[in-house]
A and B are shown apart, each in its own frame.
Chain A
Amino acid sequence: DAGVIQSPRHEVTEMGQEVTLRCKPISGHNSLFWYRQTMMRGLELLIYFNNNVPIDDSGMPEDRFSAKMPNASFSTLKIQPSEPRDSAVYFCASSLGGVWGNEQFFGPGTRLTVL
């Protein structure tokens, strides 16, 4: 298995532009997580899905952020409009939910820079 796949790996954009990050979870996993990592705030959970349904989006910082999971093999995280403070590494992770204590497998991350 190729593991969790994220694209792009790096994104540089200007303030005000729309940014879309993409994730393909491991086949067969039914839980998907979006995290943001910064030096100041560490690893923060933004939102997670179970069976393509958003379960908890309380970590989404504001309305500029939105996430979708149209099917079991694809998810997007969108920022519109982007701001310099959104600069971070965004990770997608997947796991086999429904079982106590299942490993989350992380993708390589997308490094976002908003100028």
Chain B
Amino acid sequence: GENVEQHPSTLSVQEGDSAVIKCTYSDSASNYFPWYKQELGKGPQLIIDIRSNVGEKKDQRIAVTLNKTAKHFSLHITETQPEDSAVYFCAASMGNYGQNFVFGPGTRLSVLP
């Protein structure tokens, strides 16, 4: 089955700096890659996603890149703000009708003021 690894497990950056989180997946059949943000005491919330027919996607300060050959994808957050502090999860899915996601272990991001 699919296996998703995520690095780093913790990340501290100064406010205004950029943050990068990287994930690798094992199953070349995976074709949908969402990123979720989880704040303390809440459920995960989608922040951006990318499909396998696209190499890069951007939404304001957040971007995701996908390298299908190497089977890895990355989340980039620019101009970080304290409210970006949270746990971020990547996931991989084969995008079938069941939408079976396999999540990475998570990255705890701390943005220091």
Contact = CB atoms under 8 A, between A and B. Distances in A.
A93 B103 contact: no
Interface residues of B, number: 25
Given A42-B103, A43-B103, A103 B42 contact: no
A102 B99 contact: yes
Contacts of B95: 100-101
B89 A97 contact: no
Interface residues of A, number: 26
Contact of A48 (B32, B41, B100, B103): B100
B83 to A, nearest CB: 19
B34 A103 contact: yes
A31 B31 CA distance: 19
Interface stretch (A12-20, A69-77, A78-86, A104-112): A104-112
B93 A106 contact: no
Interface of A: 4, 31, 33, 42-43, 45, 48, 50, 55-56, 91, 93, 95, 97-109
